[in-house]
Amino acid sequence: MEKELIAITEYCIKYDIEPSFISSLEESGIIVLTNIGEEKYISSAQLTEIDRYIHFHYDLLINIEGIDAIRHLLEKVSLMQHEIHELKKQLQLHQP
């Protein structure tokens, strides 16, 4: 399956955000951009995440370090929820 790529310049113009914000996310390892020639592109698979980060930064005034911390905590919560779900399934197997 081929992933759709969107030029960062077009994305930033469309959503009225600074390209430096997207670059900061990339430099921090929060997102991965694809370089083709002189242009950088973002995978359409990352759009939901980037929308969340834009909300954190522009609406809630959270800096890049805060976004990274929130991202790590959300990943940890998701893993814990999955583990709880699996434990509940195992517990149901052992109940009469």
Q: What is the pLDDT of residues 4-42, one digit of tens each?
A: 999 999 999 999 999 999 999 999 999 999 999 999 999
Tell me which residue has tokens 């914000």. Answer: 21
> What's the pLDDT at 1?
45
Main-chain phi, psi angles of 7, to 5 degrees: -65, 135
Give the pLDDT mean for 65-84.
Answer: 97
Closest of 8, 42, 51, 74 to residue 66, by C-alpha: 74
- CATH match of 5-93 with 1.10.1740: no
For the chain, give every domain's residue range: 5-93
Could you tell me whether strands 39-43 and 33-36 are parallel, antiparallel, or unpaired per DSSP bridges?
A: antiparallel
Give the pLDDT mean for 44-49.
Answer: 94
> What's the pLDDT at 95?
79
